[in-house]
Structure 1
């Protein structure tokens, strides 16, 4: 059975997911969030979700909301499933959760070198509003961050 025939489902992230989410993050990033970062997000009451295909965890998202604004802090899809629409589903779900939570706007940062993500965000109507110099650690020096936002209402 191919992956598209198996329904992908969203579940609130819980403590039992932390090791798998941290391992997925480590497989995606040179400078990954730690298990502790994800645990802190859970404890802080952020909107944290996992995407499962069958029983396999294939993606996650972390959104922090403050008053009427939300911030997409982290999002990732297993490399094996990238390019198949799961990132778009995760982003759409994160936006909807933020909107239902009362946010009128969603912000995010992205590395300019992450061209796939930049393209995805632009496809969903995000607009670059700023550039944050030297925001991300890089193998050599630091990398800038593109700051994007999108109206959710």
Structure 2
């Protein structure tokens, strides 16, 4: 998708601005975004000034840490593209599945994740600042997206054990 590129710690300010537009007072700060990139296995994607995803790969699992699209750009497929590309990168780094949390009341995000093949595997009561529960969702990553070394991905690279 045009406008989609890898994000780094140098993009922390832009990521924080998008996050603030998408999540309001619960948004992550520039400092939080910069710190995330210091964690092994974390990668990010930025869609112009409209959307972002930050994810992490650990062993054979991946987790969406945050995904947000500014309100004026919602409904254009940006979230789906970010989610799809994050899955490709995670699979390329050896992940076999992806997890995320979503607020039980976030119907639009829940529809996006359901269309992408995510299913509910748990619940975290009172997880969010407004005491909403978080649904824990999981989706398998297709084997054809996986590689032994993560070659060709824009994300973390690791070698799988033989």
User: Would you tell me which structure has more strand in proportion to its own residues?
Assistant: 1
Which residue number corresponds to residue 36 of structure 2?
A: 41
Cα RMSD (Å) of the superposition? 1.3
Partners of 1:101 and 1:9 lie apart in 2 by 23
Residue in 2 that maps onto 1:4: none
Aligned residue number for residue 126 of structure 2:
134
Partner of 1:11: 5
Q: Deviations over 1:21-68 (max 9, x none)?
A: 10111112131111122101122241111112xxxx211111111100
The answer (yes or no) to whether the contact 2:9–2:33 under 8 Å persists in 1 is: no
Give the Cα–Cα distance (whole angstroms) in 2 for the partners of residues 48 and 34 of structure 1. 15
* 2: CA distance, partners of 1:16 / 1:108: 25
Secondary structure of the corresponding residue to residue 20 of structure 1: helix
In structure 1, what is the Cα distance between the partners aligned to 2:31 and 2:120? 30
- Taking the aligned partners of 1:116 and 1:94, their CA distance within structure 2 comes to 19
Question: Structure 1: any 5+ residue segments left out of the alignment?
Answer: 1-6
Count the aligned residue pairs. Answer: 140
Structure 2 stretches of 5 or more lacking a match?
Answer: 144-162
TM-score, normalisation: structure 1: 0.86
Which runs of 4 or more aligned residues in structure 1 lie more than 6 Å from their structure 2 counterparts after TM superposition?
none
Q: Distance in 2 between matches of 1:96 and 1:9?
A: 17
Tell me: higher relative CO, structure 1 or 2? Use CA pairs within 8 A at least 6 residues apart. 2
SS where residue 105 of structure 2 aligns? coil
* Matching residue of 1:144: 133
1:113 counterpart SS class: coil
